[in-house]
Chain A
Amino acid sequence: MSCTLSLNNISCCLGDRTLFRNVTINLTHKDKIAVLGPNGAGKTTLLKAIVGLQTISTGHFEIHHKRLETEKDFALARREVGFLFQDPDDQIIAPTVIEEVAFGLLNEGMKQSEAVAKAEAMLDELHISHLRDRITLNLSGGEKKMVALASVLVMKPAILLLDEPSAALDAKSENKLAEILKGIDKTMLIVSHDLGFIEKIGARKMFLTENGLIEG
């Protein structure tokens, strides 16, 4: 099976503190991997590094066998990657739900009617059509998370990077999100503390330590 995402000997330091070193992992198509670890282990930093938002000390990333080195490489790679932020408020950048979900498509130059139709279909798929015209600022935490996920999925990314997807969700919303993520056949790298949630998705567990990723 061909490799979708490769992390090769990645090391990252913040100041004089080494967060992690020699992180190596290959994710093939439809692989779901959960990265677990204590607070401050660098889990979110690792996700940010994959999309070029964090500089690394050593190593390199590959997406579809293409080595990412320059900002231009990362900019192109970001089209293949969907990133779900821990705090959906940081991710949502449009006033209403439908505009938020259609934003990425319109930004790519798609016609408005087509973008709206695709955004509506995505809202339907995630069972959140009733939120269509709601102001994003007035949504609850769980609703914001679902809207953020819809705006990521509508772009049809090959790889999903999810940063604490179940954080601040109630049991019902968490189950709903787990069910949705379980049903998505994409390469996924999930950062979470929630073992129960990871098991519901059926992801392979790996622990991030200072000396790399260890199979859990």
Chain B
Amino acid sequence: MKFSPPAALFAAVIYSLLIAFRTDITVYDAFFALFLILVSIKEGLRPLLRLLRLNLIILFICATILFFHNDASYALLIFLRANLILSANLLLITPHGKMGIYYGFCGLRFPDKFTVLLFFVIKYIEILGAEYKKMRDSLKIRCFNPKTNLFTYKILGYLVGMLFIKSMEKAKSLHHAMILRGFKGKLYPFNTHPLAGSDTLLAIVLVAQTILTFWQVI
């Protein structure tokens, strides 16, 4: 089951907020996340693998708390909270791809300034990522073997510097394109996905989760 980008983004933010402020996690808090797992069963193991990869960072943070503050219950709370938030975000937002976030914010009627900037950030992360990959491959082809010596740091410095210069050049070209096309600060997105029946179900489950969370607090 796929939800529309604005509904998915809204639900992800609300659920994240509900969980982020909880001081103890119970099985009721996982209700929404479990619903998402159930409706995303078709996705297979891909989201789970992504979650496992992200858990490497979470486990590192939890281990830090456990070893330096000796607080196992707080480490467990952070682990559960982070996993619930991440799983909901992964299952709701990732099926829409990179541009899903942009369309989500457009659908939620965020200001043009914000959505346009967000779009260009997404676009240029991708483009500069490709540039970085090209430069890294070029080093590989030329048998560059990174070590812990001054030469390696110098080459990595060149790489970062070149990436910075390329970013400046891309920014200049984009500015020229905007001038040529008479850009007025708007992108006019219309290819957005309308709200669907599945969004109603998502809203019902989210409301139920909100009631459950507040019922526990009271």
Binding site for B on A (CB under 8 A): 48, 51, 53, 75, 78-79, 81, 83, 85, 87, 89-91, 93-96, 98-99, 102-104, 106-108, 112, 116, 133, 135, 137, 151
Considering only residues 177-193 of chain B, those with a C-beta below 8 Å from chain A are 177-184, 186-191
Residues of B contacting A95 in the complex (Cβ-Cβ under 8 angstroms): 99, 102-103, 119, 187, 189, 191
Residues B183 and A99 in contact, CB atoms below 8 Å apart:
no
Residues A90 and B174 in contact, CB atoms below 8 Å apart:
yes
Residues B187 and A48 in contact, CB atoms below 8 Å apart:
no
User: In whole angstroms, what is the CA distance A167 to B30 when docked?
Assistant: 53
Residues B190 and A87 in contact, CB atoms below 8 Å apart:
no
Considering only residues 84-103 of chain B, those with a C-beta below 8 Å from chain A are 97-99, 102-103
User: In whole angstroms, what is the CA distance A95 to B106 when docked?
Assistant: 12
Query: Within the complex, what minimum Cβ distance (angstroms) separates A84 from chain B?
Result: 10
User: In whole angstroms, what is the CA distance A69 to B20 when docked?
Assistant: 59
Partner of A93, one of B126, B174, B191: B174
CB-nearest residue of chain B to A132: B191
Residues of B contacting A135 in the complex (Cβ-Cβ under 8 angstroms): 97-99
Binding site for A on B (CB under 8 A): 97-99, 102-103, 119-120, 123, 126-127, 170, 173-174, 176-184, 186-191
User: In whole angstroms, what is the CA distance A79 to B97 when docked?
Assistant: 35
Interface SS of B by simple majority: helix
User: In whole angstroms, what is the CA distance A95 to B187 when docked?
Assistant: 9
Residues of B contacting A91 in the complex (Cβ-Cβ under 8 angstroms): 177
Given known contacts A99-B190, A103-B188, A112-B190, A90 and B176 CB-to-CB distance under 8 angstroms: yes
User: In whole angstroms, what is the CA distance A78 to B183 when docked?
Assistant: 12
Query: Within the complex, what minimum Cβ distance (angstroms) separates A6 from chain B?
Result: 20
Partner of B176, one of A48, A104, A112: A48
Given known contacts A87-B173, A90-B173, A90-B174, A99 and B189 CB-to-CB distance under 8 angstroms: yes
Residues of B contacting A94 in the complex (Cβ-Cβ under 8 angstroms): 187-189
Residues B186 and A107 in contact, CB atoms below 8 Å apart:
yes
Residues of A contacting B179 in the complex (Cβ-Cβ under 8 angstroms): 53, 78
User: In whole angstroms, what is the CA distance A91 to B99 when docked?
Assistant: 18
Residues of B contacting A89 in the complex (Cβ-Cβ under 8 angstroms): 127, 170
Could you pull out 15 A-B pairs where Cβ atoms are within 8 angstroms? Answer: A53-B180, A75-B182, A83-B180, A87-B173, A90-B174, A93-B178, A94-B187, A94-B189, A95-B103, A95-B189, A96-B99, A98-B191, A104-B182, A137-B127, A151-B181
Query: Within the complex, what minimum Cβ distance (angstroms) separates A8 from chain B?
Result: 22
Residues of B contacting A79 in the complex (Cβ-Cβ under 8 angstroms): 182
CB-nearest residue of chain B to A74: B179
Residues of B contacting A116 in the complex (Cβ-Cβ under 8 angstroms): 190
Residues B191 and A99 in contact, CB atoms below 8 Å apart:
yes
User: In whole angstroms, what is the CA distance A78 to B181 when docked?
Assistant: 8
Query: Within the complex, what minimum Cβ distance (angstroms) separates A209 from chain B?
Result: 25
**Shortest 4 CB-CB distances between A and B: which pairs?**
A90-B173, A106-B188, A96-B191, A95-B99
User: In whole angstroms, what is the CA distance A112 to B182 when docked?
Assistant: 17
User: In whole angstroms, what is the CA distance A75 to B183 when docked?
Assistant: 11
Query: Within the complex, what minimum Cβ distance (angstroms) separates B5 from chain A?
Result: 11
User: In whole angstroms, what is the CA distance A85 to B102 when docked?
Assistant: 25
Residues B189 and A85 in contact, CB atoms below 8 Å apart:
no
Partner of B170, one of A83, A90, A106: A90
User: In whole angstroms, what is the CA distance A95 to B98 when docked?
Assistant: 10
Give the residue among A75, A94, A151 with the most B Cβ atoms within 10 A: A94
Partner of A85, one of B127, B177, B182, B191: B177
Given known contacts A99-B189, A102-B188, A93 and B181 CB-to-CB distance under 8 angstroms: yes
Residues of A contacting B103 in the complex (Cβ-Cβ under 8 angstroms): 95
Given known contacts A99-B191, A103-B188, A107-B188, A90 and B182 CB-to-CB distance under 8 angstroms: no
